[in-house]
Each structure stands twice: as structure tokens, then as C-alpha cells.
Amino acid sequence: LCAAVLLKDMKLLDVKLGQLPTWLAMRDFTPGGIVGAIRRGYDRYYSKYIDVRKGGLGGISMVLAGYVVVSYIWSYSHLKHDRHRKYH
């Protein structure tokens, strides 16, 4: 027997495209809910990649890659402006 999982309790990857608007409407978008979601994501990431017995460079390299992407996005307008400037 397969127990049906409520749409509210489903993970994002398990939600079908037609159910996505309903699933998003059930999320908690209050400041406390957003902070709680970020905290749960951090705890899941930490327990999976950082707090392990035989750790590798995987978790740290993902944080570093994320930092590089975010810093590039923040400085993109400056880089775009410099790209069109002539150096002479």
C-alpha cells in the first residue's frame, strides 16, 4: 500500500508542473518562514557536506563557487561598462 503524500509536504522536485502554483501558494513567505527555510537548507547542507567523518573538498568548493558566482553578478554592471571602453 502506498500512502499518499499531501501536496503541502512534498519536496519541490516531487511536485508536478501543474501542481506548482498550488504548492507555491502553500509555502510560508513570512519573514519567519523564510528564515526557517534558509536555516533548514543550511543545516541540510552542513550535515551532508561539512559535518562528515571523511570529508573532502566538495562542500568547501561549492561554497567557494557560489561566492565567485555571486561576486560576478554583483560586479557585472561595472565589468560590462569596462568592456566597451577603449584602452588608448
Read off the pLDDT of residues 26-84 as tens digits, 9 standing for 90 and up.
888 999 999 999 999 899 988 887 777 776 787 788 889 999 999 988 887 777 766 66
Q: Cα separation of 86 and 28, whole Å?
A: 50
Q: Is the pTM of this model over 0.95?
A: no
For the record, the C-alpha cell of 18 comes out as 501543474
The answer to whether residue 2 scores a pLDDT higher than 60 is no
User: SS3 breakdown of the chain: % helix, strand, coil, rounded to 5?
Assistant: 70, 0, 30
Residues 7-24: tens digit of each pLDDT: 778 888 888 899 888 988
> What pLDDT is attached to residue 47?
87
For the record, the C-alpha cell of 61 comes out as 568548493
